[in-house]
Amino acid sequence: MQIAMVSFLFILLAVNSIMIFKLRDRKWTDIIRRLRNMAFGVAGIIVPEMVILLAKDRQIAYYAFTFYYIAFAWYTMMIFRFSVSYSGYKLFKVYKSPLFWITVIESVAFIWGMFSERFFTITHARWYEHTYWICRPFSIFYVYAIVGYITLNGAVVVLIIAATQSARIYRLKYSGIAIIIALMVASRVNSQLRHQPIMVQAVCFALCEIVIVYMAVHYAPKKLNQRAMQFVADKLNDGIVLYDDEHQLQFVTAGFSDAVGLKGMQGIGNEKMYWTKVISEANVENAWNGRVMPIARDDGIYYYEIQHKELDEDGKLIGTVYWIRNVTESIKNYGEMVRRANFDELTGIYNEAHFHEMARKLLEENPDTDFVMTCSSVDKFRVFKELFGQEKYDDYLIRTAESLRTGLTHIPNCVYGRIGESDFYIMMPKEAFDPQQFLDAIDGVAKAYSTNNFNLLIKAGVYEITDPSNDMLAICNKASMACDMIKGDYGKRILWFDESVQKESMLRERYNAELSKAIEHGEIQIYLQPQVDKAGKVIGAEALARWVHREDGLIPPAHFIPFFEMNGRITELDICIWKQACEKLKEWKDKGRDDLYISVNISARDLYALDIYEHYVSLVKEYGIDARNLKLEITESAIINDLKQHVHLVEKLQEAGFEVEMDDFGSAYSSFNMLKDICVDVLKIDMKFLGDTKNEERSHAILKSIVDLSGELYMKTIAEGVETEEQLEFLRRVGCDIYQGYYFSKPMSVVNFEAKYL
| Residue ranges in contact with ligand C2E by CB under 6 A | 529, 544-545, 556-558, 561, 570, 574, 577, 601, 603, 663-664, 720-723, 740-742, 747
* Sequence-distant (≥ 6) Cβ neighbours of residue 78 within 8 angstroms: 34, 37, 38, 41
Q: How far is the CB of 512 from ligand C2E (least distance, A)?
A: 16
Q: How far is the CB of 710 from ligand C2E (least distance, A)?
A: 18
Q: How far is CA 739 from CA 464, 728, 756, in A?
A: 47, 8, 18
Q: Which long-range contacts (CB under 8 A, 24 or more apart) does 574-577 make?
A: 574/600, 574/601, 574/602, 574/603, 574/606, 575/610, 575/615, 576/519, 576/524, 577/524, 577/526, 577/543, 577/545, 577/601
Phi-psi domain of 369 (left: phi exceeds 0; alpha: psi -120 through 50; beta: other): beta
Q: How far is the CB of 534 from ligand C2E (least distance, A)?
A: 18
Among ligand C2E, Ca ion, none, partner that 154 touches (CB below 5 to 8 angstroms by kind): none
d(CA 535, CA 140): 140
d(CA 109, CA 103): 10
Q: How far is the CB of 653 from ligand C2E (least distance, A)?
A: 16
CB nearer to ligand C2E: pick between 305 and 514: 514
CB nearer to ligand C2E: pick between 460 and 577: 577
For residue 465, report the phi and psi dihedrals to the nearest 5 degrees: -75, 95
Helix, strand, or coil here: 531?
A: strand
d(CA 561, CA 567): 10
DSSP class of residue 343? B
* Sequence-distant (≥ 6) Cβ neighbours of residue 210 within 8 angstroms: 12, 15, 16, 19
CB nearer to ligand C2E: pick between 371 and 665: 665
**CA-closest candidate to residue 464, choices 558, 588, 372, 343:** 372
CB nearer to ligand C2E: pick between 362 and 545: 545
CB nearer to Ca ion: pick between 239 and 666: 666
Question: Can you say whether the dihedral through the CA atoms of 9, 14, 19, 24 is positive or negative?
Answer: positive
CB nearer to ligand C2E: pick between 257 and 740: 740
Q: Which residues pair with 126 in a beta bridge?
A: 131
Among Ca ion, ligand C2E, none, partner that 326 touches (CB below 5 to 8 angstroms by kind): none
Q: How far is the CB of 458 from ligand C2E (least distance, A)?
A: 23
Sheet with 291-297: list strands edge to edge. 249-252, 239-244, 316-326, 300-313, 291-297
* DSSP secondary structure string for all residues of 177-242: HHHHHHHHHHHHHHHHHTT--HHHHHHHHHHHHHHHHIIIIIIHHHHHHHHHHHHHHHH-SSEEEE
DSSP class of residue 379? E
- Number of residues that this document lists for the chain: 758
Q: How far is the CB of 709 from ligand C2E (least distance, A)?
A: 21
**CA-closest candidate to residue 574, choices 597, 532, 605:** 605
CB nearer to ligand C2E: pick between 209 and 574: 574
Q: How far is the CB of 738 from Ca ion (least distance, A)?
A: 13
Q: How far is the CB of 643 from ligand C2E (least distance, A)?
A: 20
* Intra-chain end-to-end CA distance of the chain, in Å: 147
Count Cα neighbours of 605 within 13 Å in the Cβ-side half-sphere: 20
Which segments of 57-130 does DSSP mark as H helices, in order? 58-87, 93-114
CB nearer to Ca ion: pick between 20 and 541: 541
CB nearer to Ca ion: pick between 561 and 675: 561
Q: How far is the CB of 589 from ligand C2E (least distance, A)?
A: 21
**CA-closest candidate to residue 185, choices 193, 259, 434:** 193
Among ligand C2E, Ca ion, none, partner that 636 touches (CB below 5 to 8 angstroms by kind): none
Among Ca ion, ligand C2E, none, partner that 558 touches (CB below 5 to 8 angstroms by kind): ligand C2E
What is the maximum span of the chain, computed from C-alpha positions, in angstroms? 158
Q: How far is the CB of 688 from ligand C2E (least distance, A)?
A: 6
d(CA 564, CA 522): 18
Q: How far is the CB of 544 from ligand C2E (least distance, A)?
A: 4
Among Ca ion, ligand C2E, none, partner that 721 touches (CB below 5 to 8 angstroms by kind): ligand C2E
Q: How far is the CB of 529 from ligand C2E (least distance, A)?
A: 6
- The answer to whether 462 and 373 have CB atoms below 8 angstroms apart is yes
Among ligand C2E, Ca ion, none, partner that 574 touches (CB below 5 to 8 angstroms by kind): ligand C2E
Among ligand C2E, Ca ion, none, partner that 305 touches (CB below 5 to 8 angstroms by kind): none
- Label residue 403 exposed, middle or buried (CB < 10 Å: 0-12, 13-18, 19+): middle
User: Beta 716-720 vs 738-740: how paired, if at all?
Assistant: parallel
Q: How far is the CB of 417 from Ca ion (least distance, A)?
A: 40
Q: How far is the CB of 550 from ligand C2E (least distance, A)?
A: 20
* Chain residues in the site for Ca ion (CB under 5 A): 601, 633, 663-664, 686
CB nearer to ligand C2E: pick between 324 and 632: 632
CB nearer to ligand C2E: pick between 278 and 573: 573
CB nearer to ligand C2E: pick between 464 and 583: 583
Other beta carbons within 10 Å of 93: 12
d(CA 549, CA 522): 10
Among ligand C2E, Ca ion, none, partner that 603 touches (CB below 5 to 8 angstroms by kind): ligand C2E
Q: How far is the CB of 705 from Ca ion (least distance, A)?
A: 19
CB nearer to ligand C2E: pick between 423 and 664: 664
CB nearer to ligand C2E: pick between 261 and 562: 562
Helix, strand, or coil here: 303?
A: strand
Among Ca ion, ligand C2E, none, partner that 723 touches (CB below 5 to 8 angstroms by kind): ligand C2E
CB nearer to Ca ion: pick between 202 and 561: 561
